[in-house]
Amino acid sequence: MTNITDRVLATIDTLTDEAVAFTSDLIRMPTVNPPGELYEECARFIGEMLARCRFEVEYYAAEGRPEHTSAHPRLNVIGTRRGQSMHPLVHLNGHFDVVPAGGGWTVDPFGGEVRDGKIWGRGSCDMKAGIAAAVFAAEAIRRAGIALTGSVEISGTVDEESGGFAGVAWLAHHGRLSAARTDFAIIPEPLYVDRICIGHRGVYWFEVLTRGRIAHGSMPFHGVNAVEHMGMLLERIRHDLQPRLAARTTEVPVIPPGARHATLNINGINGGQPVGGIQTPCVADHCRTVFDRRFLLEEGFDATRTEIIALLDEVARDVPDFSYELRDLMVVHPTRTPDGSPVVAALDRALRRVLGRSGGLVASPGTYDQKHFARIAGVHHCVAYGPGILDLAHQPDEYVDIADLMNATKVIALALLDLTATA
C-alpha cells in the first residue's frame, strides 16, 4: 500500500500545471447563478475532461424543473470509471454554478488569473478548484497505473447556490444518486484543506405578514398601523427570542464559533406604500418581513416553528388589534454524517499522511448539497472536504491557494484508494 500511496502522491506532483489550468478554464466560464449562465457549456467542458480521463460520461438535463428553460438549461454531468466491481463506489460531487461577482474586485472576477501561488476569480474556491481536485485525484490513480477494485464517479452539478433542486436533488429524485449505487460521497466544498465537514445546521425561512387598518395619515388614531405592529414583533424578537437562541449551543462542531448557536436574521422587510414613489397620507395596512432562522440539530424543526408561533401569539395577546399570518418559505433539515463513518476515517488518515495533521471535524454554518445526498438519495456516508478557505466564498477577490488545491487532490486520491481498495 505504501508503494502505491507514494506512486500516487508523486504523480500528483506532476499534475500541478494541468490542475491549475483546468481550474482557470472553469473560472473563465461565468456560470453565474442567478440566472444560471453557461451551464451547458460548462457541463460539456467538464464532461470532455472526464472523457479524456477515461470516464464514461452521461449528461442529465433537469427535465420537469421550472428553472430548466431553453434560455437557461440546467445540465448536469456524471462520469463513471468502473473498477473490477461496481462497489464500493465513491462519488465526488462539485457544483459548477457560482454567485454573481458583485463589486469591490481588484482582479477580473472571470479572468482565471494565476499569480502569487493563487488562482483568482469568482468560483475559484467555491468550488471550481474542488472540481479540479476531484478530477485530478482520480486521474493520478489512473496515470500511476493503479487498478481499483471499486468504482469512482465524478459529477458536476448545477444550482447548489440556489438550493440544488435541478442539480443533486434532481439526480437523487431520479434515482441516479442512490444508496443502492453510491456507497460514499465526498463534496469538495471549500471548508479548509485540513478539515472534514460532517454536515450543516437547519434552515427555516418564513414570512410574517402583519395586517393593520388603513386610515387618513393625519388621523392615524383611526387606523391600525401594520408597520408599527411589525416593529413591536421585532422588538420582542430582539428582547426575548434572540437571547434564548444565543444561549443554545450545538454539540455539532459548526464553524465559525458564532454559528454554533441558533441564529435569526431579518432578510427583508416592506410595509405600507412603496418608499421612493409618490406617497399619499395613509396608515400602513400591511407589513411583511422575511426571516432566516438557522436551527440546531438538537432543536429540530418542529420545536423551532412552534417557538415562533408561540412568540407571535404572545404579541397578539399583548398588543390590541395585532393580527398576523405566518407563511413557511423553505425548510432544510440539519444533516450530520453518522459517527464512525468510513469516509471520515479515510479522509482523516489521508490528511495525516499528506499534511502531517488532521484539523478534525467541522460543520458548515450554511447548507450545501449534503442534505440531498442524505435525505433524498439516502447516502449518509457523505462529507464535504476540499481546497479553499470558507470565508473567501462569495467575497470579492476570491482565490484558492495552489498548494491547497494540490494537497486536497492528494488527500482525495488517498481516500479514494482507501475507500475503493486496490486490486
Q: Does 144 bind Zn ion (CB under 5 A)?
A: no
Q: Does 398 bind Zn ion (CB under 5 A)?
A: no
**Residue placing its CB nearer to Zn ion in the complex, 191 or 413:** 191
**Residue placing its CB nearer to Zn ion in the complex, 49 or 384:** 384
For residue 66, the minimal CB distance to Zn ion (Å) is 23
Residue number, nearest CB to Zn ion: 126
- Give the CA-trace dihedral at 60, 170, 371, 347, to 10 degrees: -20
For residue 94, the minimal CB distance to Zn ion (Å) is 8
**Residue placing its CB nearer to Zn ion in the complex, 342 or 366:** 366
For residue 160, the minimal CB distance to Zn ion (Å) is 5
Q: For the window 240-279, what string marks contact with Zn ion as x by the rule CB under 5 A? A: ----------------------------------------
- Considering only residues 342 to 361 of the shown chain, the ones binding Zn ion according to CB under 5 A are none
Contact 368, 189 (CB under 8 A): yes
**Residue placing its CB nearer to Zn ion in the complex, 50 or 125:** 125
Count of residues of this chain found to bind Zn ion when the rule CB under 5 A is applied:
3
Task: Please report, for residues 109, 130, 403, the alpha-carbon distance to residue 37 in angstroms, rounded to integers and kept in the order given.
Answer: 15, 20, 29
Which residues fall within 8 angstroms of residue 62, CB to CB, at 6 or more apart? Answer: 68, 74, 75, 76, 158, 165, 166, 167, 170
Sign of CA dihedral 244, 246, 249, 254: positive
Which residues partner with 249 through β-bridges?
261
**Residue placing its CB nearer to Zn ion in the complex, 112 or 272:** 112
Q: State the DSSP code for 240.
A: I
Q: For the window 186-225, what string marks contact with Zn ion as x by the rule CB under 5 A? A: ---x------------------------------------
**Residue placing its CB nearer to Zn ion in the complex, 201 or 229:** 201
Q: Tell the residue number behind the cell numbers 505504501, with chain if given.
A: 2
- Considering only residues 28 to 67 of the shown chain, the ones binding Zn ion according to CB under 5 A are none
**Residue placing its CB nearer to Zn ion in the complex, 95 or 176:** 95
**Residue placing its CB nearer to Zn ion in the complex, 101 or 241:** 101
How many other C-beta atoms can be found within 10 angstroms of the C-beta atom of residue 292?
16
Contact 53, 153 (CB under 8 A): no
For residue 87, the minimal CB distance to Zn ion (Å) is 28
For residue 33, the minimal CB distance to Zn ion (Å) is 11
Interatomic CA distance for residues 8 and 91, integer angstroms = 19
Q: What are phi and psi of 109, to 5 degrees?
A: -65, -20
SS3 of residue 70 by DSSP = coil
**Residue placing its CB nearer to Zn ion in the complex, 67 or 418:** 67
Q: Does 384 bind Zn ion (CB under 5 A)?
A: no
- Considering only residues 106 to 135 of the shown chain, the ones binding Zn ion according to CB under 5 A are 126-127
Task: Please report, for residues 186, 232, 360, 410, the alpha-carbon distance to residue 117 in angstroms, rounded to integers and kept in the order given.
Answer: 26, 52, 26, 18
For residue 26, the minimal CB distance to Zn ion (Å) is 13
For residue 35, the minimal CB distance to Zn ion (Å) is 18
Task: Please report, for residues 26, 35, 305, the alpha-carbon distance to residue 105 in angstroms, rounded to integers and kept in the order given.
Answer: 19, 21, 40
Interatomic CA distance for residues 339 and 361, integer angstroms = 11
Q: Does 369 bind Zn ion (CB under 5 A)?
A: no
Residues interacting with Zn ion, by CB under 5 A? Answer: 126-127, 189
